[in-house]
A and B are shown apart, each in its own frame.
Chain A
Amino acid sequence: MNTIIKTTARTAGLTAGVAGCLALAPAATAEVSEADFRALQETVRQLSAEVQSLKATNTVAEQLHDQDLQQLHQLQAQMADTARTAADAEEKSAAASQPLPRVPIDEATVNHNFQILGDAEVQFAKATGQNGSFYLADFAPIFLYRGGDNILFEAGFDTTIANNNDPTTTPPNQGAGYTTTFNLSFAQLDYVMSDYLTLSAGDMLLPLGTYAERGAGWLNKIPDDPLARQLLPDAGVGAQLRGAVPLGDAGKILNYSVYGVNGPSSSDTTGDATSLDLGGNVGPNLHTDPAGGGRVGVFLPFKPRYDLELGLSGLAGQWDSSGNHLYTAGVLDAALHLGPNFEAKGEYIRTRYGSDDQGMISQNGWWAQVGYKLSGLNLELPGINNLELVGRYDALHDGLGTTTRRYTAGYVYYITTALLFEGDYEFITSNDASQNNQLIFQLSYGF
């Protein structure tokens, strides 16, 4: 309101001033000549033309200024784009210099389902009365193929070489060169039907005790197998249901297996006592009925690395071609771990089989083995912590008149957890004259 009053007052003031000047003007103009007036008019005209020219120039300048502003904005935008492009290029360059990130592997395109495990052993053996010898004792690969989360095919082979000229055989072999023996030790298909039940079928390592299933050159600690194991078949062709059931939450397990296999057979179709063949009946079945067997065991851990396992297993079936005689076997097995340094295990084995010529043959044997890792003594001596002392006692009564007892003292030096250098000396007492004391060194590798 005040602004309007002020503006109105100013306008009234100006109007009054202009009116006053105009009232006074006639008295002043009366004294200007026409020439002066024309000169003044010309001056005003020139000034007016100059003003117009200046206006026009200002308009052009304004236009040019606008254009400059526009160009400036465009340049600024271009600069921003250039800066972004440079930053991107720098990022890409940095990324290109980095190793490519690992892309998750598609299991359908890369086959991690196939594995080769196994072991290999090289031995030096010197038996009393014989030459010291190097042996490629065994190259035993195990092939695993996992066909899914629950399907596994596994097969193990034993490859050995032996002289064609072998004076120790009866009669002595003669010939040049050597023979490679390639044996299929097992080949089975496993189908894990549930957490507690697995179906296995094929040429299976038999659960008679635990030595066959859980033994290998680099696991056994003593190169030779226990004497009594020769009373039992290691493998058989058939089918098996096996599994384990937890007993509570502290790690205790009840494990079991039940199977049917072709079983032992006769090497010459007769029922003579010496014709028993434990591993040759791989098909077709050489007698009328298959054999059956099983194992039940309990695993009782007190805490990690302190545990006891006990098992009872058996096998029964015909063995001669006419089906007149039965073969039966029973095994009691035990294993004890007291900490990471002490292990004790063993088996008691009994077998019986009928025969045409010698009636009922009863056989038995047993073995007990202990091992103690010297790292448990906490001695600060070089190499001690990698050394394990082992000992075994085994005995065999073969039911055909031969009794053998063997005391074995040895060591295992763990070059790594899977590369072992073993040595032992075997003291043998037997009424079989071919059995002699012997010294064995073995280098074995588990892979």
Chain B
Amino acid sequence: MNIKLNRLRLAGLLAGAGLLAVAHPSFTADTNAPVATPPAVTAPPPGSGTTKPPMPAPLTGAELYSMHCNRCHAERYPTERTAAQWKTIMLHMQVRANIPGTQARLILKYLQENSGR
């Protein structure tokens, strides 16, 4: 009889712990935490029931160039300057337009690769 009672008590405790785990916010699927290096995710097969969208690809230098370099003036063609000149100009633009260094480097790489000289 005592063994049966203890088993019942144990089952109840386990059930309660399970309910608590499901209800606690730290156990929800999406924490909105940023992912530093998003892994490649393929879209789930249709009808699978999952709804998580695939992570977008990082922005390329060309895309960042279109975003930032069109804010204040018409886009200048990469061929207008040499690769070395773009390095100086891009430093000026990074400061003046408040562009993060990571994005500024990608834009510079795009300009230098397409300057043709």
Instruction: Looking at the assembled complex, report how far the CB atom of B67 sits from the nearest CB atom of chain A, in whole angstroms.
Output: 5
A350 within 8 A of B: no
Q: Type the 1/0 row for A319-343, where 1 means its CB is closer than 8 Å to any CB of B.
A: 0000000000000000101001000
Indicate if the CB atoms of B87 and A192 lie closer than 8 Å. no
Name the residue on B nearest A112 (C-beta): B84
For A145, the closest partner residue in chain B by CB is: B88
* Chain A to chain B contacts (Cβ below 8 Å), 18 pairs: A107-B84, A115-B88, A115-B92, A154-B92, A190-B91, A213-B96, A214-B71, A242-B95, A246-B102, A249-B38, A249-B59, A250-B59, A253-B103, A301-B67, A304-B70, A414-B74, A417-B74, A417-B77
How far, in angstroms, from A249 to B100 measured CA to CA in the complex? 12
Contact B95 A198 (CB under 8 A): yes
Measured CB to CB, the closest approach of chain A to B40, in angstroms, equals 14
Contact with B along A196-226 (1 / 0, CB 8 A): 1010100000000000011000110000000
Q: Are B87 and A146 in contact (CB under 8 A)?
A: yes
Say if the beta carbon of A270 comes within 8 Å of chain B.
no
Q: Is A144 an interface residue (CB 8 A)?
A: yes
- Asked if A309 is at the interface (CB within 8 A of a chain B CB), the reply is yes
Chain A 288-324 interface mask (CB, 8 Å, partner B; 1/0)? 0000000001010100110101000000000000000
Residues from chain A with a CB closer than 8 A to the CB of B96 are: 213-214
Contact present for A195 and B100 (CB under 8 Å): yes
User: In whole angstroms, what is the CA distance A255 to B59 when docked?
Assistant: 19
Assembly CA distance A243 to B71 (angstroms): 17
Determine if A112 and B88 form an interchain contact, defined as CB atoms under 8 angstroms apart. Answer: yes
Query: Quick check: A446 and B84 within 8 Å, CB to CB?
Result: no
Q: How far is the CA of A114 from the CA of B82 in the complex (A)?
A: 13
Q: What is the minimal beta-carbon distance from A238 to any residue of chain B, in angstroms? A: 16
Secondary structure dominating the interface of A: strand
The listed residue (A105, A144, A242, A307) touching B89 by CB distance below 8 A is: A144
Is the pair B85, A115 in contact by a Cβ cutoff of 8 Å? Answer: yes
Asked if B21 is at the interface of the complex by the 8 Å CB criterion, the answer is no
Chain B residues near A251 (CB-CB < 8 A): 59, 63-64, 67, 103
Q: How far is the CB of A375 from chain B (nearest CB, A)?
A: 12
A417 to B95, CA, bound (A): 23
B63 partner residues in chain A, CB cutoff 8 A: 251, 304
Which A residues touch B76, using CB under 8 A?
417-418
Is A250 within 8 A of B66, CB to CB?
no
Beyond the given pairs A154-B92, A251-B59, A301-B67, 6 more chain A to chain B contacts, judged by CB atoms under 8 angstroms and listed by A's residue number, are: A195-B101, A213-B96, A218-B73, A257-B98, A307-B71, A309-B71
Chain B residue with minimal CB distance to A151?
Answer: B91
Interface residues of A in 69-125 (CB under 8 A from B): 105, 107, 112-115, 117
Q: At the interface, yes or no: A248 with Cβ under 8 Å from chain B?
A: yes
A244 interfacial by beta-carbon distance below 8 Å: yes
Is B94 interfacial (CB 8 A cutoff)? yes
A152: B residues at CB distance < 8 A:
88, 91-92, 95
Q: How far is the CA of A278 from the CA of B61 in the complex (A)?
A: 40
Q: Does B23 contact A (CB under 8 A)?
A: no
Q: How distant is the Cα of A257 from the Cα of B95 in the complex, in angstroms?
A: 11
Give chain A interface residues in 230-262, CB to chain B under 8 Å: 242-246, 248-251, 253, 255-257
A218 cross-chain contacts in B, Cβ below 8 A:
73
Answer whether residue A434 sits at the interface, using C-beta atoms and an 8 A cutoff.
no
Q: How far is the CB of B47 from chain A (nearest CB, A)?
A: 29
- Interchain CB contact under 8 A, B67 and A307: yes
Q: Is A253 a contact of B89 with CB atoms below 8 Å?
A: no
Assuming the contacts A195-B100, A257-B98, asked whether A304 and B88 have C-beta atoms less than 8 A apart, the reply is no
Given B59, B70, B91, which contacts A146 in the complex, CB threshold below 8 Å? Answer: B91
B14 at the interface (CB under 8 A from A): no
Taking CB atoms, residues of chain A closer than 8 Å to B38 are 249
Question: Nearest Cβ in chain A — how far from B34, in angstroms?
Answer: 6
Q: Does A11 contact B (CB under 8 A)?
A: no
Is B97 at the interface (CB under 8 A from chain A)?
yes
Separation in Å of the A107 CB from the closest CB of chain B? 7
Within 8 A of A (CB), among B23-54: 34, 38
Cβ–Cβ < 8 Å partners of A113 in chain B: 88
Complex alpha-carbon distance, A277 and B89, angstroms? 33
Closest to A246 in B: B100
Least CB distance from A297 to B in Å reads 8
The answer on a CB contact under 8 Å between B101 and A194 is yes
Complex: chain B residue closest to A307, CB-CB: B67
Residues of B within 8 A of A255 (CB): 98
Q: Which residue of B lies closest to A188 (CB)?
A: B95
Chain A residue contacts of B94, Cβ below 8 A: 192, 198
State the Cβ distance, B114 to closest chain A Cβ, in Å: 16
Known: A196-B100, A243-B100, A304-B63. A144 touches B92 (CB 8 A): yes
Report how far A370 CA is from B56 CA in the complex, Å. 32
B66: chain A residues at CB < 8 Å are 304-305
